[in-house]
Amino acid sequence: MSALALHEAYLSYGNHRVLGPVNLDVRAGEHLILLGKSGCGKSTLLNRLYTENRSGCALIPQDLGLVETLSVYHNVYMGRLQRYSALQNMLNLISPARGRVAEVSPLLEQLGLAEKCFSSVAELSGGQQQRVAVARALYQAAPVLLADEPVSALDGPEADRVMALLGQYFSTAVISLHDVDRALRYGQRIVAIQNGELVLDEPTERLTVAALNEFY
């Protein structure tokens, strides 16, 4: 069953065509990794998938989309903002609801952020901020994850832990990465972008690091 699909799609900014025609079916239950040189169009593709499937997707954007003046807790809570009334959201902003804190805390624990729950995001390192964006996506618990280089600011072991966590929480995901070795370890299917086209679309088991390095 297809979870997300684009058929004969052209992705442009004004007159500048970035990708197209794009034909892509993301099947429910698969982890698809997007690879390709900087500027090839990975974010553009992820953003289009999100724009067309907003209600069913959790997005970790490349710029993280955090509110730096708010606490870690409040940023993670934003993953479920739509589930609550405006009044509940406002009250929670002033005084965090105990039940919600109890839901968010284990996620922060898993991401090594437990002690930062009520710190403002502005006070965190880049890697910590990236983990807050990951926690917000986990908390949202949407059927599909769209993630744009979600571990780029993390060291190797931490990046692997976060990738494993994303895999555990989301059965269906489209994730852009720059690390081909990690792509082979975490993806079931790899799509590479080059010169405005999806030039490779293969199950991971048919691919090697050397084959993927061709796209860099």
Ligand X SMILES: Nc1ncnc2c1ncn2[C@@H]1O[C@H](COP(=O)(O)OP(=O)(O)OP(=O)(O)O)[C@@H](O)[C@H]1O
Interface with ligand X by CB under 6 A: which residues? Answer: 13, 16, 18, 36, 38-44, 62
- The nearer residue to ligand X, 3 or 45, going by C-beta atoms, is 45
Shortest Å, Cβ 37 to ligand X: 7
- The nearer residue to ligand X, 107 or 151, going by C-beta atoms, is 151
- The nearer residue to ligand X, 61 or 96, going by C-beta atoms, is 61
Q: What residues are paired with 150 via a beta bridge?
A: none
d(CA 90, CA 86): 6
Shortest Å, Cβ 47 to ligand X: 8
Asked if residues 150 and 59 have their Cβ atoms less than 8 Å apart, the reply is: no
d(CA 78, CA 171): 22
- The nearer residue to ligand X, 43 or 105, going by C-beta atoms, is 43
Shortest Å, Cβ 36 to ligand X: 6
The dihedral built from the CA positions of residue 14, 18, 20 and 22, taken in this order, carries a sign that is negative
Shortest Å, Cβ 113 to ligand X: 25
- The nearer residue to ligand X, 31 or 42, going by C-beta atoms, is 42
Shortest Å, Cβ 71 to ligand X: 28
d(CA 216, CA 44): 18
DSSP string computed for 80-128: GGGGS-HHHHHHHHHS--HHHHHHHHHHHHHTT-GGGTTSBGGGS-HHH
